[in-house]
């Protein structure tokens, strides 16, 4: 999306939302987030808002709207781009269909630990930020989810056990995994997952233990297989006009808040990783490593997906992996 495609009204609204009030009152920013208020990402949205007030001397007052309550997950990015809100959070790879480079964190089995995921983000950051700049966005911070594994309502040993299952997908990578395993991908936002499982719209998905815990999926599903296929990231982004309209001191305060929140959020993600597994097990789910046959199939699919991602992203994607592997 180019700047020329934005309406004048949206641009004026974005700038107005971010121009300091002459009487010294705080600017009011609404911040939509897609995940439940009790999810650690949303909790850190509140942490970020508090830190912004602190580090800007109250110049910006952010109100967090969790659980897709202001905009649904699929609408948040465009709402920020077009100035309907100045800031928000979204799952980065949800936008890989419009900008494949944004799927850098969903390249399977490349970075399967928090340490490696941080290195991969360091390698991808400049290219990702350049891509976002083209879309009228500035990324303030990112935060990883725990590693992704598979939820099913039965034991799964190989892809022979997954044929025909309705599989909740949240981006192009998860849809590809579903298709390669003979499943039927269904696009479902996290806020709609519980209802989808209850009504049979989906009966399997790939995600972290966090999503299963938040949505109490033990009420509908029986098995979780640890795979650590990737550690996807959410990102908090701001409309470019809203950002540019801030003076340098306020920008510095917001970025300081973002950097501190990013570190805290990543640490909380790592801390909670095993907690989620324990809670799934306590509530009756079988939680185990994927078996060798199933894992081998997943890794073969992952290798194919990596090759396809590199073909789609070209030199930019290869440069990210080269920089990552060099470290």
On the question of pLDDT at 19 being above 80, the answer is no
Q: Where are the domains of the chain?
A: 3-145+232-271, 149-230+274-326
**Do 3-145+232-271 and 149-230+274-326 show the same overall fold?**
yes
Q: Return the pLDDT at 192.
A: 92
CATH number belonging to domain 3-145+232-271: 3.40.190.170
Q: How far apart are CA 138 and CA 136, in angstroms?
A: 7
The average pLDDT across 146-175 equals 96
Q: Return the pLDDT at 4.
A: 41
The average pLDDT across 280-308 equals 97
The average pLDDT across 116-124 equals 98
Supply the mean pLDDT for the chain.
92
Q: Return the pLDDT at 114.
A: 97
Q: How far apart are CA 89 and CA 39, in angstroms?
A: 13
CATH class of 149-230+274-326: alpha beta
DSSP 15-64: HHHHSPPTT-PPEEEEEE-SS-TTSHHHHHHHHHHHHHHHHTTTSEEEEE
Q: What are the E-state strand segments in the chain?
A: 27-32, 60-65, 87-91, 137-144, 149-152, 166-169, 184-187, 204-207, 223-226, 233-239, 286-289
Helix then strand then coil, in percent of the chain rounded to 5, is: 55, 15, 30
Q: How far apart are CA 213 and CA 167, in angstroms?
A: 18
The average pLDDT across 145-150 equals 96
State both tokens at 181: 């395993």
b or e along 93-130 (b: 16 or more beta carbons within 10 Å of the residue's beta carbon)? Answer: bbbbeebbbbbbbbbbbbbbebeebebbbebbeebbee
Q: How far apart are CA 89 and CA 105, in angstroms?
A: 16
298: nearest Cα among 109, 111, 168: 109
Q: How far apart are CA 189 and CA 212, in angstroms?
A: 13
On the question of pLDDT at 115 being above 90, the answer is yes
pLDDT digits (tens, 9 = 90+) for 229-285: 999 999 999 999 999 999 999 999 999 999 999 999 999 999 999 999 999 999 999
Answering whether pTM is above 0.75, one says yes
The average pLDDT across 320-324 equals 98
Q: How far apart are CA 40 and CA 99, in angstroms?
A: 27
Q: Return the pLDDT at 24.
A: 59
On the question of pLDDT at 78 being above 80, the answer is yes
Q: How far apart are CA 38 and CA 76, in angstroms?
A: 19
Q: Return the pLDDT at 26.
A: 85
Q: Percent of the chain, pLDDT > 70?
A: 93
Q: Which residue has the tokens 């490593």?
A: 289
pLDDT digits (tens, 9 = 90+) for 20-74: 444 457 899 999 999 999 999 999 999 999 999 999 999 999 999 999 999 999 9
Q: Return the pLDDT at 25.
A: 73
37: nearest Cα among 9, 58, 8, 68: 68
Q: Which residue has the tokens 């570190």?
A: 263
């Amino acid at each position: 999306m180019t700047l020329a495609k934005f309406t004048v009204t949206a641009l004026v609204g974005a700038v107005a939302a971010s121009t300091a009030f002459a009487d010294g009152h705080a600017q009011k920013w609404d911040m939509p987030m897609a995940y439940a208020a009790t999810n650690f990402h949303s909790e850190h949205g509140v942490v970020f808002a508090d830190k912004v007030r602190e580090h800007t001397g109250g110049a910006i007052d952010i109100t967090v709207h969790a659980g897709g309550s202001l905009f649904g997950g699929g609408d948040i990015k465009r709402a920020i781009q077009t100035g309907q809100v100045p800031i928000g959070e979204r799952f980065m790879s949800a936008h890989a269909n419009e900008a494949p480079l944004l799927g850098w964190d969903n390249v399977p089995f490349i970075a399967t630990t928090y340490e490696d995921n941080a290195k991969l983000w360091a390698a991808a950051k400049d290219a990702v930020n350049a891509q976002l700049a083209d879309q009228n966005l500035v990324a303030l911070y990112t935060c990883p989810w725990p590693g992704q594994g598979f939820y099913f309502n039965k034991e799964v040993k190989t892809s022979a056990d997954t044929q025909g299952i309705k599989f909740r997908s949240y981006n192009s990578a998860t849809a590809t995994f579903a298709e390669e395993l003979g499943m039927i991908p269904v696009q479902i936002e996290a806020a709609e997952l519980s209802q989808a499982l209850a009504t049979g719209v989906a009966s399997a998905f790939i995600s972290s233990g966090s999503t299963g815990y938040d949505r109490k999926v033990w009420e509908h599903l029986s098995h979780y297989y640890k795979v650590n296929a990737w550690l996807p990231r959410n990102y908090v982004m701001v409309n470019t006009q809203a950002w540019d309209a801030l003076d340098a001191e306020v920008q510095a305060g917001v970025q300081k808040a973002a950097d501190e929140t990013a570190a805290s959020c990543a640490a909380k993600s790592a801390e909670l990783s095993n907690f989620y597994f324990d809670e799934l097990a306590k509530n009756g789910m079988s939680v185990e490593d994927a078996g060798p046959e199933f894992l081998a199939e997943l890794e073969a699919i992952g290798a194919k997906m990596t090759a396809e991602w590199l073909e789609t992203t070209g030199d930019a994607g290869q440069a990210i992996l080269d920089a990552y592997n060099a470290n």
